[in-house]
Amino acid sequence: MYSHILVPVDESMLSATNVSAAVRLAAQLGSKITFFHATPDLSATGDGVLLRTLAPDAFSNAVLGDTNAVLSKARISAVVAGVTCETEHKVCDHPAEAILDAVQRHDCDLIVMASRGVRGFASWLHSSQTERVLKQSPVALLITRVATSDPLQASERALSVIQDEHRSIAVVVRGMLDLVQQAGAADAHFDLRSLETMLGYLQAFPLQKHHPKEELFIHRCLRQRAPESEKVILELEAQHEREHALVAEAMRMVADAKAGNSASDAALRTHINTLGDAVWSHMQLEETVVLPMAKERFQESDWNEIAVAFEANNDPSFGDLPSSEFRRLFVRIANLLPAL
């Protein structure tokens, strides 16, 4: 029963909640997932033709767009849950048809997707890509949510942003560990430029934006709603400090290696593995202990405050580095990564 699930994905919060629902379902059923992402055909536009002629490299990056970023985060969600998965990307202007084609090629027996809707269920049924899939699909279609008739609650909005940021951090850490493994297997030097980019992301985003907001909003609410969590909170905050120190030391070691100190390669390899273990352990504590406790104890007013705070991470005016720069940096990292 439903051994292979196709899950269309994009960069939206609605898609992120749909991925989470699909991964939970696949884990319960023992199913495999194929995450599918479609992007418009840039080469079919006048601007695309001009860009391809004048700047082929920029055209290639533009064609990829957010594809690798979206698919990398979806796949890491499945990997963390122990769900077997693969990914596929197609450039097309007819996403519904591309979804149905992918279903047949991958021999899927269930499609799981959400719909933004227009004005409730009746309008949704006649106006979206989902409707086209529904009318033509040879397999079952599970609609996890119609956004217009079932909007995200404050708790869902907050958790969606927090967990999406966790997935981004996990993708970057996985990329660093892959670089270490590749260098070790080939008995070669590190790709220091890529490693430095990944460390720069960790230093700029989770350490300067994500962790401080966790402490200011989630930890504060936990202390108020669940005083018995103090020991766990102190452990989390100590882990934040340790991650800061580990990333700073890794940056220093990369600088030494770039300066020609080849003797630092082995130490750097060990250090990156230590950093990776620290980040995994920290996120595991948050997602298996802290967030479930928050879901049980927090009130809707708490979640609304947290949602507003974390959603501001996408505000272009927030902080010293605009959110668009973080996004471009993450996309660039995702495009550097081998298949997860």
Tens of pLDDT, residues 129-162: 777 888 889 999 998 887 766 778 899 999 989 9
* Separation between Cα atoms, residue 257 and residue 269, nearest integer Å: 11
- Dist. CA 186–CA 237, nearest whole Å: 37
Q: For residue 289, is pLDDT > 90?
A: yes
pLDDT of residue 27: 95
- Evaluate if residue 183 carries a pLDDT over 90: no
Encoding tokens for residue 249? 């030391």
**Residue 339 pLDDT greater than 60, yes or no:** no
- Region 117-123: what's the mean pLDDT? 48
pTM beyond cutoff 0.75: yes
Integer-rounded Cα Rg, in Å, for the chain is 21
Asked whether the beta carbons of 329 and 201 are under 8 A apart, the reply is yes
Alpha-carbon distance of 253 to 259, in angstroms, equals: 10
Query: Average pLDDT in the 67-77 region?
Result: 87
Quick one: pLDDT band at residue 188, thresholds 50, 70, 90?
Answer: low
Cβ atoms within 10 A of the Cβ of 216, count?
A: 12
Q: Which of 103, 131, 107 is nearest to 38 (CA)?
A: 103
**Which residues, at least 6 apart from 283, have a Cβ–Cβ distance to it below 8 Å?**
166, 169, 170
Element (H, E) at 101: helix 95-105
Percent of the chain with pLDDT over 90: 44
Helices H, strands E: what count in the chain? 16, 5
**Cβ atoms of residues 335 and 61 within 8 Å:** yes
Specify the higher pLDDT residue, 44 or 28: 28
Residue 122 pLDDT: 43
Q: Which residues pair with 34 in a beta bridge?
A: 6, 86
